[in-house]
Structure 1
């Protein structure tokens, strides 16, 4: 009884120390992030002041405020964000079951893998002419190009997550009497979640990277469209506003996925 009584306070002390270390590490990382951002802005300012053909941070901020006040930035942001979210969501929703099927059933892998590997090597941007011919110049071809960029990144990661599961876990579940459905739901799916989330993060980056080219397809609004119009008039501040907005949105969405990853994979050991 004495040993058990002494063990509880020790565990509490250890837990408090661990949480203190985690909080200190988060503060240190946040400080490094802020220093890095400040250094980047100062370097940008110095290059602009040195005569390089770059707008200064002040010029970009003023232009961004003008676009925000007249509603242009909001309408462009909504248009681009809608395309990215729809294309990314559809790509992920299709990629996850396809990746699971390919990893779990050999016959499915034999049917799907050649086509996925074939089309994966074709840049989504190369699909634009075909998309225009087949789907016209509305929203569908834009979303299709973004869908493909997200799909191929996520399906490969999901497939890899299934095929790299430790066979010992599956064999142990079979010994304990688990059926295939139970093994799939209780072993395969949880073990694949980290791979799926990594694939989603890569797919999200690919979706944003494809956005500007997707908005070449007769867009009337969007961050990529606005940057292309600004290019015609050598409007560098507007181009920078578009670049920074895309970067901030992509960063925020990536942080959201990273937060979800930490919550869903808390059982994983981390460095």
Structure 2
């Protein structure tokens, strides 16, 4: 009995130590990256700012209010586009995966637009929607939507048919099967699609802010490019990366909470 208990406690201790070990490795990787960056800036790439110069520039942009204002503008655009894209992608993905008729009608359009980069839509968006906030948000929305809809659709299609047939044998109606079997089984795919869509939204941000923007991280980086202000460009890049990473961690946390039944490594 004691031996069985000890064996049961070992995996639990390993599971508790895994996040701590991952955090330590993350910190080591960040420290190594900063050291390498400093070496390259000092003895390697000419004109490359050091981490200290970038940090000083970030302090200046924070002090005069420029960086917080740009962060809020970019966050607003990304969040609106991402949320709208996700809210539309999930029901359409379910429709395509559950109903053959809906799949036949919608899949050609989804696959067609998926092969067109969202950035290629910018000229059309400017002509049809003007140069305000709408075309910026629309381009981000499109990038998020196309990433998430395909993942949701694939999640519904890949649900184990044995589970569906077993539910039918037990007398479950289609509505019950959909809510109790299909939705939970496809949730991991949906959340992965949301994470990919979030990355696509941030990846599209800089190009979206080419559309006559007056504020935003992408806009600030483009302005800095004109004056060869590499420190400001690095501040924008790092800020986008940090914001995107934090939002991705929140989605990952939600994924673990909603799919705690799933076996993990």
Q: TM-score range, shorter-chain basis?
A: over 0.9
TM-score (norm 1): 0.95
Q: Which residue of 2 aligns with 1:117?
A: 111
Q: Which residue of 2 aligns with 1:40?
A: 33
Q: How does 1:13-92 map to 2 (within 5 A)?
A: 16-52=9-45, 53-92=47-86
* Secondary structure, counterpart of 1:50 in structure 2: helix
TM-score (norm 2): 0.97
Q: Which residue of 1 aligns with 2:240?
A: 246
Q: Which residue of 2 aligns with 1:179?
A: 173
Note the C-alpha offset of 1:149.
0.3
CA distance in 1, matches of 2:32, 2:44: 19
Note the C-alpha offset of 1:19.
3.0
Q: How does 1:180-259 map to 2 (within 5 A)?
A: 180-259=174-253
> Structure 1 residues 51-60 or 174-183, which shifts more?
51-60
Q: Which residue of 1 aligns with 2:150?
A: 156
> Structure 1 residues 167-176 or 48-57, which shifts more?
48-57
CA distance in 1, matches of 2:129, 2:206: 19
* Secondary structure, counterpart of 2:212 in structure 1: coil
CA distance in 2, matches of 1:23, 1:184: 35
CA distance in 2, matches of 1:50, 1:263: 47
What per-residue deviation string (whole Å, max 9, x for no partner) do you get for residues 29-74 of structure 1?
1111000000000000000001413100000000000000100000
User: How many residues are treated as equivalent by the alignment?
Assistant: 264
Is structure 2 residue 110 aligned with structure 1 residue 105? no
Identify if the C-alpha distance between structure 1 residues 14 and 266 changes in structure 2 by more than 3 Å, giving closer, same or farther: farther
Q: Which residue of 2 aligns with 1:3?
A: none
Task: Provide structure 1 residue ranges, at least 5 long, that are not aligned to the other structure.
Answer: 1-5
CA distance in 1, matches of 2:105, 2:42: 58
What per-residue deviation string (whole Å, max 9, x for no partner) do you get for residues 239-264 of structure 1?
00000000000011111111111111
CA distance in 2, matches of 1:267, 1:27: 22
Structure 1 vs Structure 2 CA RMSD: 1.3
Task: Provide structure 2 residue ranges, at least 5 long, that are not aligned to the other structure.
Answer: none
> Structure 1 residues 45-54 or 180-189, which shifts more?
45-54
